[in-house]
Structure 1
Amino acid sequence: MRKLLALALATLLLATGAMAGTLSPGLQNQIRNMNDSDQITVLVVLQDQVDAHAMAWELHDAKVDNDRQHTMIVSALMDNASKTQGPILDYLSSKSLDGEVRAYRAYWLINAVRVATTVAGARELAARGDVEVVEADLKPELIEPLASEKVVDKSAAGIGITPGVVAVGARRVWDELGIDGTGVLVGILDTGVDGTHPALGSRWRGNFAPASECWFDAIGDGSTSPTDGHYHGTHVMGTITGLAADDTIGVAPGALWIASNVINQGVSSEFDPDVVNSLQFMTDPDGNPATTDDVPDVVQNSWGINESFGGDYIDCDSRWWAAIDACEAAGVVLTWSAGNEGSGSQTLRSPADRATDAYNAFSVGSTLNTAPYTISSFSSRGPSGCGGAYATKPEVVAPGSDIYSAQPGGGYQYLSGTSMAGPHVAGVVALMRGANPDLDVITIKEILMQTATDLGPAGEENDYGHGMVNAYEAVLAVMTGFGAVDGVVTDATSGLPIAGAAVLATAAGESSRSAVTAGDGSFGFSLPQGTWTLDFSAFGYVDASQSVVVVEDATTSADQMLTAAPSAVLSGIVYDDQSQPLGGATVTAVGTPVAPATTDGTGAYSLTLPTGTTYDVLAQAYGFGSDQASVAFNGATTQDFTLPALIYENFESGGFNTFNWTQGGTLPWVIDTAESFEGATSARSGAIDHSQTSTLSLTLDVLAASPVEFEYKVSSESGYDYLRFYVDGVQQGEWSGVVDWSHFSANVGSGLHTLTWSYEKDGSVDSGSDAAWIDFVILPTVAPPAYPDIAVTPSQLAATLDPGASTQLTLTVANTGEADLVWNAVGAGNPLPSAAAYESVELPKGEADTRPGRSPLLGAGGPDGYGYNWIDSNEVGGPVYDWVDISGLGTPQSFGDDSNQTFALPFTFNFYGVDHTTVNVCSNGFLSFTSTSTAYSNAGIPSSGVPNDMIAVLWDDLNPNSAGTIYTYADAANGRFIVQWDGVPYYSSTTYLTFQVILNADGTIVCQYADVADRGEGTFGIENPAGDDGLEVAFNTAYAVNGLAVAYATEPLPEPWLTLSPSSGVIPAGQTGEIIVTLDATD
């Protein structure tokens, strides 16, 4: 393997020849019985690697300060990945086009790429000259705590300082040395943390810094702030830094914290790349090597693998070592719980069993929490299966039996396990870094072992290691030449304390230190003696600084008053997609503590903000997309926003034709009418077999950074068969087992992006329905679907002909829309050209329909493919308007909004050649003989989307639940069935409509309109059962008027006296065409 060793003055490249890589033994075992086409996920490790472990030792010997070491290490890792990954990423991109590669993600912490591909694809990757090894995907296990026999007394106020905290000597450090972890940042790779717990919530770093660099949602459940779906991580973090009014449960109660929910998937859940992702996050949370205040001082790990789990694991498994070395080289101390597989020997989990030198890995065993601190029966023992001179394990022990700490939901509980011992040691590391922030990782581990209190047999051995960790001796050992600085930051005018102010301490030749003021405005540092500069900053205040002289073993006061910065008002109007003022929208200055403003009824908002900076301002409202602007704010400023219409897919069209969906994998996704989050349908994964996939993708041009949101459901083999969601091949979330309808959201940047939902099965075992579903997909801010629009000039033609004469006139048809205009035109009695199938589009309830309409050129048309014609009462020979009021004769029916009911007909009615004895009536102005759809968004005719086999009397979003009544009348004596909408309004409107449809026993249909205010958003016509033929009278145009009648029949109309040439065509956006109209009076 090629190694890069970046030193202070040079970069050393140790290179071998470009030989092909290999498949790891574990991967070879995994694919032994698989086919070349079976799906698999692998980690492809490249040849060029930075030797971070050796580099850390070089920098340790050179006594390089921590800030500089972090920058050098992370820069070297990032630069190496950037310079060497190009060829393989290009290769993977090309392979993704032909479907061999489903997804991939590159890492810089280790120079590697995670790839979802086929078995054959994995072999091809291993054959590349730039690949060192292709590893199997991994499945670590949480070190599950053991149930404690002790129960928390919920009636008690608290237990004060916990026994474990006292046992490790933390109380002496607080009381005698004045060190409590203030200024230190701690982290965990665990199940997450309850970020609202009273013992933890106030010291989450995300309260004072961007949440994205303080919480890593490794499993992609959509959480943007800390949560704990288990309980383990909250308990662990409480032991490191928990503090509440009646409970001091943490060793370093002054520290801030960050976390990852990397192990929040349950026991034996799929690893995916979560551990590597999380270690990379903890190495440099903000992704900037030049900053260090975001980097945790210590991260506790309560997880591991063991060869007894089965699968492809081996004792002393080395697959994470490179990532661990890189993270620690960048300045992060990693502590490891040994495991709960004791009391036998050689039972440590990997990577805690690593024994390559005296410091790696730093494993922690468990003792009872009271003297004489006997080893816990469950604590895993050494020696390490790695063998060698450093095989004695663990490194140290700490209390792990019956440990009282935080429980999600605000309470407390007792748990036992090495998972409870490890955080005691992590807390001690926090105290050491609080006393001396410039300690490097190697020195910290060395001091922890040297100062541990020997337990058990004399010397280092395989039960207690070096002994019980001793916080007081460890901190005392690093404090020579140190003094303290503390103070309170207050408002210069009011004198009130300022919480959350940032304090940065700098001095020549020293690493910088940072702290955040508490609720009472206080802060404190332990600093090397000498002259330091303190820089103070807080949102809404002018920055300030002061110089302090730190004296050894003394405390220097450094109170600071901050002056409020000048402020001004940012104001404006938020408009909807129709350019109308929008009330109830929120406007947020992103990344500031200023509360969002809510627009009033006129759409107006105002925010008072400090001047002299640039803000990212975001406007949002329910039912709409978002709009964001960067505002350079130097005084009173006006900034308006326009929110685009919310565009979503709920699959109610009955297909995948609303957007340009593409299918992939072994079998396509299908429409499911038996399962949905809302409405009648959802999308369901294909019925795939083992080692197969079913993928559904959508490529969008996103106008502005915004989230994609969707509902999902899973019923699969837990931990093995997954629904996964990707953006541009990068996994955003995964779900397995039995998951009822749940919500997920992921941010998508502007530009062209591909969203992919993939159901993926492993090589064996079926469980549940063996499927995944998605529904109600809210798309990021994209341009609405492109539509054509038609303009015809002149708007009408007139000619006077003598008998026997004829003439020709010209119509110009212009497409003023954004998509091709597929048009057809008919004259009375002219055959209708083959109809185009129009897409169904589901609009949000109450939203104006802006799709362009289609008006009839004449008052008659047809025939369609079956032979139906239509004619209205404005045309010569058309039906006579003859209203049949059934409000006193018929039966009033109880209809809700968007509802459908079935009624018996008093005769057999033939529609498109099929006899029917019942008809389904929808509240939204249409009848169907087979569909019970309640679609409120009308569509053009014909359309494959439901409803089909239908009569669109006035299909629009109507609401009889609000007002009016729908009557039915079975008039058997006169051979007719009548449905009447009487005073029924549009949805969310006070415009009322009265109209009816009459089905006659001879198969003719008459629609009559008594009192209508046609807003131009309805559909009129008939459609066959297949949705591929029909008569569209009008769509989204003001057609119906009072006193209008429209008849449909299969009888022929009079011979044509008007012909059109051409009668159909396609006009591209922005272009025009001509129609020659021939008027013939020769007959």
Structure 2
Amino acid sequence: MKRLILIFNILCLAWNVWAAADLYSGGEARPHYANDLVKVKLSLAAAQRSNLPQQLMEETSRFGLADLDQILTETGGTAVIRAHRRLKNKAWEAAQGFDRWFLVRLNGKTAVEEALAAFKTSPWIEDISFEHFAYTQYVPNDPHYPNNWGHNNTGQGPGGGGAGFDSNAPEAWDDSQTFGDPNIIIAIIDSGVNYNHEDLNDNCVPGWDYGSNDNDPTDTNGHGTQCAGIAAGEINNGVGVAGVAGGCSIMPLKVMNNYGNMTMTSITNAITHAADNGAHVISMSLGAENGADEGDNPACDAALYYAYNQGCVIFAATANSNASSIAYPSNHTAVISVGAASPTGQRKSRTSSDGQSWWGSNYGVNIQDDPKAVDIMAATILPATTRNGSYSTDFNGTSCATPYAAGVAALILSKDPSLTPDEVRQAIVNSATDMTIDGGAGWDRYTGYGMINASAALATIAPGMPACVITAPANNSIHSLGATIQVTVNASDTDGFISHVDFYLDDSATPSFTDATAPYAWDWDTAGATSGEHTIRAEAFDNLSNSRSFEISVILLQPAHEGFESGLFDLYPWQNPSSGPWTVQSETVYSGSYSAKSGDITHLQESVLSLTLTVSQPGNVSFFSKVSSEPNYDYLRFYIDGVQQGQWSGLLNWEFHSYPVAAGTRTFTWSYVKDQGVSTGSDCAWLDHISFPAHNAPPFAPSGLTATAVSPSRVLLNWTDNSSDETEFYVERSTGGYWALVNWAGPDMTTAEDTGLEPATSYRYRVRAANTNGNSNYSNVAFVMTFGNDCPDNVTATQQANWVKLSWDAPVNGASTYQVWRYEQIDGNLANGVLITPSNISETSFTDQDWYLLNPGNYLWQVKAVAGTELSAGSLSNTLAKAANGVILGTVTDLSGAPIANSTVATGTVSALTNDYGVYSMSVVPENYILTASHPDYESVTLSDVTVVSDLQTQVDFQLPLYTVARPTFSPEPGAYSGSVDIVLSSATPEAVIRFTLDGSEPDPQSQIYSVPIRLETSATVQAKAFKLNCAPSETAAAFYEITVSADDPAAPAVAGIQSVWPNPFSAKTSISLYLKDAGAYSLDIYNVRGELVRRFVGQAKGPVELVWDAKDSKGRNLASGIYLIRFAQGELRQTRKLVLK
């Protein structure tokens, strides 16, 4: 393992002179890691064979493995301590080995470096590291300033200047989320938080102290309380500070112990706590420098990925050394790195114009989006809350910038909680205000994407984007392999509608299912899937083809094999020899109705349950266990062939366990064992849902048997098949005593019927499976009573050409008329029932003429007898499968062969909306059709005599000529006008964009867009052309207007050019007033802060001119909030003004 000297710093610049002196000396007096602790990760085999504590920070004096215990003795090891809290995601925890990290406490017999080297030689050790410290790093303050320049910079920050360089927080608060949603939680991983502070107490949710492992995260240093105030100090409460997300909540997670130390283990536990307890954002104003990198702290790396995959947006500080590399964990792939911006628009450095020359924000590699590069900058030197209940005015460092950025992320998630961590990052970096002083225009290594812009970031969360959330099943939920899992999605769109939702499985690029009708759902049949973890992704599309996706993981288990559901140990030859034997009981279960419970035993006894099977191929044995015992003394242990695989102790709820098994004869043993002392809890263990690998055994019993009467003489049976190796099923019937075999079904069948029964008679049914190894247990017993003599019987459905002929026997007691109903059979259930007889009929037959119009599927019919006003029970027919009708399909393209999306093909009675590839399909009955393909931007095309044949596909392709936009018209008519004239342009084509020129040139897609009447005060030729997306542009229209100019106005202003810009700042549009003394061509150009031309106005005029800018670029796109420059030119006259777009 790479050995690095790491020092963790709380990246603040605070108020302790002693600590400042320590900074200047390089901090060499402080150790980088504990001299009495080594952190080890046991191999899986070592963890399975050792006897170690289960609860966080519990300890024992030995590993329980001779080799490791010898090293422990030789190095002076006195305790083995569990390092990390247990995670909610047990499958991830097991796969990563996250539960196999332990701390070894040393007594000083050997140096910690020697101890680490000794343990590293053991094959039982998978990984090893020092227990690194994190330190607060203080430096002195400059004068205090009362205002938060990061929210709204008016030049009040240290060094002055920089007005307008800020996060635009007030404008952000005007957005729909206002100050933030209290359901959005920011985890502050730091020195704790004064959660009783008047500016924080209403915003705090429960946290934890992982420095001392207790439930009180009170701040003992002050740093964490200041971070909390920056991120989410209460707002509009009349006191103190205003956090950037003052409406959101704070989760205080303390990682500093009572001695002022912070360890990597504490930080790792805090990260997983945040992920497991609903935090949406994690803020870490701390970091390790001196080359610390991803891979050097594997447990913390794993925790960061765990939190990211749980949906947490993670921020960490880059550090304050003014160095050319950023700290860990800000350089981790899952983390957004945050640097500090000076209020004057620069990276905070030792030479920036803010008066604080003793520190600077670290910067990273010169590779955009590299984990080791700076991502975003945020404000520093701000007012904050303090641990003594008061306030500071100059909290600084990247420690201040990091919670500021975290607060902006919380505002974004308040507006749209369905965003993924990557989507939040993209919203932040793509909307940042470029900082050009250090690295020029665009992304640079010193300031990353630039200053975080809360208002602009929120503006990127378009209200028109669809929302998509998988509501079931739960993320990381466990299901039986072979079960059908219903995946449900909530999808909505604020400015349109959801067109469809695609469902994807694992890494497939092709949807497994598409649902175009709410509620959106997919029934995933897992019968053909593999056991283990699977990914389900849903992607919702709106009517504008915008999409949003959501992803979860589920775990599939083999069906339970142990046979407990019979209430006995009778499916397998279980060995249960103890004086306190295991029992099958129903009081405490994980699934189903029964589980196994260990027996009543006393001290120094064990209750053993075992089973020997011949495993036919390698696989896994899995089970759920629950334990209630004296912690670290009484255990549930599991063995394969006498080798211990795992053990559990204490108060543990149901947990999933899985272990590999080789082929051959294998003995599986569970033992609950007690020591010689105390008994606590229920003093027992439970087992449930045990699944074995493939082995030679009888099949599992079918379940869920139902019996349904469908006539006086006929019963339908349905059940669930729980085996994959049965050869047949046996159906047995009884009327109260003897059970008779009445039918059988082949492998994988789940239905059967029983006929020739007596009317109005009660029957009982049961089913069992069989294979070459024997018979399964019986299923549950199903009860049913056949219909009485007033019902029709023997209803038969026969397909004849394009209709279905129905016939039946009259009831024994007679009936005058009948009703006939048609049903669709979906998943074994009757659905969409329709009465198909227009009135009661007297015949015992009927023809369903609408058969051919039905959708493909399985159908059956029900006949009811009518006696006066009474209806009998309905007797059901046999099932008929309806095949597809004739299908017309094809493509719709333009003349070049490119697909035309969202075009419509119609027959007059049936129409089909094409997808984005121009493909359409429609199902119709056999006949001749006239088809018309159309789209608003194209000329329609009609084809006649399209012949459709039953169950066959007919290919009909269309090519549509491009629609030509109507040529613009002028109002008033061209001619001579005195003084000036206002010209109105229009096109008969809806939504056409008209572009024009006044200099005699041909208009093109870059020419000025017509939006308001054109005022001419000098003679000019106006040329105009209309454009529309996907359409051919119009012909050019030209008109000459002659203007007779009167004498100069004596009231004209003394200075020509720009007279006023109002309003400024503005949000939707602003008016720019000009006065031109001399007739001639002029231009007014608008540039963004990167120096890029975004809009141009040109004309020829004399006298007053009014221009209106609608905050759009030359292509009609909305521009982001920020600072813009307008530059006016006419002849030798040049003028520049500043605009602020909110």
Q: Which protein shows a greater Rg?
A: 2
Fold in common (TM above 0.5): no
More contact order relative to length (CA 8 Å, sep ≥ 6): 1
User: Whose strand fraction is larger, Structure 1's or Structure 2's?
Assistant: 2
TM-score, normalised on structure 1? Answer: 0.34
